[in-house]
Amino acid sequence: MTIATPDPGSFRDPGARVYMSDGAIYRAIMKQGAPAYLAAKDAGLYESLAEKGLLLPAREVAANIDGAAFTLEHPAIPFISYPYEWSFAMHRAAALLHLDLHIEALKEGFTLSDATAYNVQFRGTQPVFIDHMSLRQYREGEIWAGHRQFCSQFLNPLLFWSRLRLTPNHWFRGSLEGIAPEELAPLLSFRDKLSWTVMAHVIAQAKLQRRQVGKDGDASVRLKTARLPKQALFGMLSGLRRYIAAMRPASQETVWAEYAGATSYSGAEKQAKRAFVEDMVRATKPGLLFDLGCNTGDYSEAALDAGAGYVVGFDFDHATLDRAYDRFNRGRRPFLPLWMDAANPSPSQGWAQAERKGFGDRARADALVALAFVHHIAVGRNVPLAQVVDWLIGLAPAGVIEFPSKSDAMIQRMLALREDIFVDYTEAEFLAAVKSRARVVRSQHLPENGRLLVWFDRRP
């Protein structure tokens, strides 16, 4: 077997590289990384962590990769996501997974060489650790090498939610290494600091980071010989685990309060939309479906019920994403909720602008659902209607798009305080735009508010 395409985001560890071939994922263990790999493999670590659902399964395969001592094959992750696309609930689940994996590994005499959040991926709502070569043998008394990274990429973003009442996603997307303790510390109030976790991991670490200890040559030697007993490492990991498990976003109460009444399927309109989506999904049989503007996931659920293999839901509103996460997590259904501003989706960025892939470069959807979506971009963000339709139809070969006309109550509210400059925003223009790019399989006006549903298909 010859495997050609190295993943451009896999370059930091010279001991291993990730390759992709025909939808499968391979990890080449280089000669340099072979001893660490064999130690973990012989100890049965990979298997035991995979059985607990903490680590992505792996099997050794024969492959022809230059310089590789071993090659592992992994099950593919349907859609790669990045921490700056996660809601609070997902970020917390990822942090707890990371700590659980570290604690379990430590019990078996292994530790993690880093703590990057990009090594956690989601299969549906379930986080899983994907980097086998971050696991290495624990040396008695060694410090926790990934501590600062854990704080920057897990603890500090979560403190944004719970203490500052802010979403960390914009900051994290601009600063791919996360939010450093020195950056978070000045933002915290005196009251926020009255916590052991905040005081130690944020405030004290930030101060110590800035302190000059390199004045004499002994300093770096002293740092190199710093020790952390194993019990203390267990204590730090379990202390952080307890603290993070109890974290809540500052606005969580209202979110849960609204939840109960928000999920029922009442009304002819919702029923009609649901049936329309189900018909498209049954005919298209998508393996991967995008739900743009997924809200709490009503139509993602309809798509899954009708046989969609995996649904990625995107929304701009974090509160609805957390509700969707909770809803599908209860049923362990293959649904991944991600935060996205459709007028400014995640870009390709990082090293060589290829390390973290942009929204459009990650996976091709087989179908899409865009309900109550078009007007937010066309009217809310001034994107010409034809361009919105063009972008949507470019994302998937088939799907359902909803079009509310200008008399719609929501659009009237959007236009209440501004001039109506949208002369081209009409049902006729919308249909013309769709028809110039795809076939209209079926269209239907909704019973109550008259919104138009269009099922498009651009396959020959």
CB of 206 to other proteins, least distance (A): 7
Residue closer to other proteins (CB basis): 57 or 239: 239
Q: Strand 367-370 and strand 398-403: pairing?
A: parallel
CB of 222 to other proteins, least distance (A): 9
Residue closer to other proteins (CB basis): 49 or 388: 49
Angle at 140 between CA 135 and CA 144, to 5 degrees: 55
What is the token pair recorded at 402?
């909803």
Residue closer to other proteins (CB basis): 208 or 440: 208
CB of 341 to other proteins, least distance (A): 31
CB of 194 to other proteins, least distance (A): 8
CB of 150 to other proteins, least distance (A): 9
Provide CB contacts within 8 A for 177, sequence distance 6+. 149, 152, 153
Angle at 206 between CA 205 and CA 211, to 5 degrees: 95
What is the token pair recorded at 444?
């239907």
CB of 214 to other proteins, least distance (A): 6
d(CA 150, CA 129) in angstroms, rounded, equals 14
Provide CB contacts within 8 A for 359, sequence distance 6+. 340, 345, 346
CB of 176 to other proteins, least distance (A): 14
| Contact residues for other proteins, defined by CB under 8 A | 103, 143-145, 147-148, 151, 181, 196, 199-201, 203-214, 223, 226-229, 231-239, 241-242
Residue closer to other proteins (CB basis): 204 or 250: 204
Residue closer to other proteins (CB basis): 12 or 442: 12
CB of 258 to other proteins, least distance (A): 32
Residue closer to other proteins (CB basis): 27 or 147: 147
Which of 320, 316, 336, 318 shows the shortest CA–CA distance to 121?
Answer: 336
Provide CB contacts within 8 A for 64, sequence distance 6+. 1, 2, 3
H helix intervals, 44-87? 45-51
d(CA 10, CA 12) in angstroms, rounded, equals 6
Residue closer to other proteins (CB basis): 210 or 364: 210
In Å, what is the CA distance from 114 to each residue of 333, 347, 446? 30, 25, 52
Residue closer to other proteins (CB basis): 209 or 449: 209
Distance of CA 460 to the CA centre of its chain: 33
